[in-house]
Structure formats: C-alpha cells, structure tokens
Structure 1
Amino acid sequence: MIIVELFLWSGRLVIFTLTLSRFMHAPRKPHMEATMRILWYLKNNPGQGLFFSSQNDLSLRTFYDSDWGGCPISRKSTTSYCVFLGSSLIFWRTKRQKTISLSSAEAEYRVIIGACCELSWLRSLFKDLEILHSKAALLYCGN
C-alpha cells in the first residue's frame, strides 16, 4: 500500500508517506488512521496526474539538495531531488544516505551522483521510445 501511495501522490504529500513507511515494521492505530486519511484524499482528488502541454519544450531539469547530517541519531544525510520534463514533475526521490558524509560538499556530491544516474536512465528511456531529446539536462543545487 505504501508503494501505491508513493506512486500516486503529488509532491506536497510525499513526506507523510515517507514518515508512515518508517513504522511499517510495527504499525499502531495512529499510523492506520493516518493511512486512511491519505487514502481518503486520493479517493476524493482523482485526476491529478501529469499534464504535458503541446507547447512544452521537453527540457530536463533536476533540482537537488542534501541536509548534511540531518538525522540527529545516525548523523546520516538525506538526499532529495526532483526531475522536471518541461514544467511537469516526472520523478522525485528522498532517501537517507547509506554512509555518513564528512562534509556538506560530500553529501551534495552523493546527491549529484544519484541525480545524474536518474537523468542517464531517462535519456536512455527517451531513446528507446524514440523521443528526440538533444538538449543537455540542467542540474540546480540547493546551496
């Protein structure tokens, strides 16, 4: 159910799903109630999908950021990035890094690596779908 919620949600609600997913190993009544509210929202807000205008320029833009040592317990950083195709958000990811970064620059480099891998995969997908995309992808850092 968590995967379905992550797949269908708009960007502003993803943080709730990520928080709920941390309690999947031992869910309690408040977690179930929160999940039911999320499902109610999805049921009552249909049709909020991707829209591609015919005037869309189809340029790939990626915005990324990292919070260096953001977890107060493990001191691991959280990686976040989102990919836009023109003006439409097509992918986003928020993930705790597996290792502890020794500097904010190191944490940012880890985000760049993930974002570049995602962009490489998207360009390969465009090629397979025979979508001509000759423009370079733009990356914007949160610093």
Structure 2
Amino acid sequence: MKYITVAVMVVAIFFSCKKDKFTTAPQITYKSLTSNFVDASDPTAVFPSVNFELTDAEGDVGYNDGKDTAWVYIKSLLTNDIDSAIFPVLSSATRKDFKVTVTASLEKATKCRPVPGNAIHVDTIYYEIYVKDFAKNKSNVIKTGEPVLFRCQ
C-alpha cells in the first residue's frame, strides 16, 4: 500500500507540473537574431531580424482578409519606441495547436539615439517582443538574448 501511495503522488506531481504548450494566449520563445550589427550610414545595410517560436491553442494569428489581424510588437529598450507589424496570411496553416517559427524585421524599431554634434557612435540595443492574436490576447514578453550593435552617424 505504501508503494501505491508513493506512485500515485509521483504521477500526480508529474501531471501537475506539466505545462500545456498550447494556450489561449499566444506563447513565444526567443530563438536568435539573423545578425547583431548594422551600419546605419550604409544605405544598402541589411537590418537584422529576430526569430522566435509562436504557439497558440486556437491558431488565431495571421492576417484574415482584412477581417482579423494579429500583430507582432517590437520595443527598443534603448529608445522605448514600439513598432508593430501584421502577420502574413496564414489561412493554409493548421489552426488547432498552432506552432510556427516567426521572423520579424527590426528595421523600423531600430533608430539612432541623438548625441551632441551628431558624432559617429555605436548604440547597443536590446528588444522586447510580444504578439497579440485575433482575440487580442497578449503573449508573454520576450527579450532578445543578445544586443544589436547599431553604428549611427
């Protein structure tokens, strides 16, 4: 009887600690940056993108013929500017227990901080990212794991 009680307790702890991967509010996990340096003085500079994994129980993300729109929000922690972008059309994607890797450009959220004399300098920028689905459920907020070094003039 003692072993059965212990076994039941172990199973109960296992199931109570198991976190559901697919929730009504979207969940995001930081993966990587495509690069971590931008030279703003170069007109052909390619801005980095952030890669993150998105899960959602209903899969109500994307762009749905102008009826519904889900958004990605990117905040520069240097300037506190927030930029948003809509998801692409995802109508062909699986809707229940939705899981996808998202790549979002940091171009609009990356701005030079003004310095006296407009001197050349390098800003170190971290970003916070979150998403909202069609029902306006806000995901958790993630922070980029490494900074973007932004050469400004």
Q: Is the structural similarity TM-score above 0.5?
A: no
TM-score of the superposed pair, with normalisation by structure 1: 0.32
Larger radius of gyration, structure 1 or 2? Answer: 2
Greater relative CO, 1 or 2 (CA 8 Å, sep 6+): 2
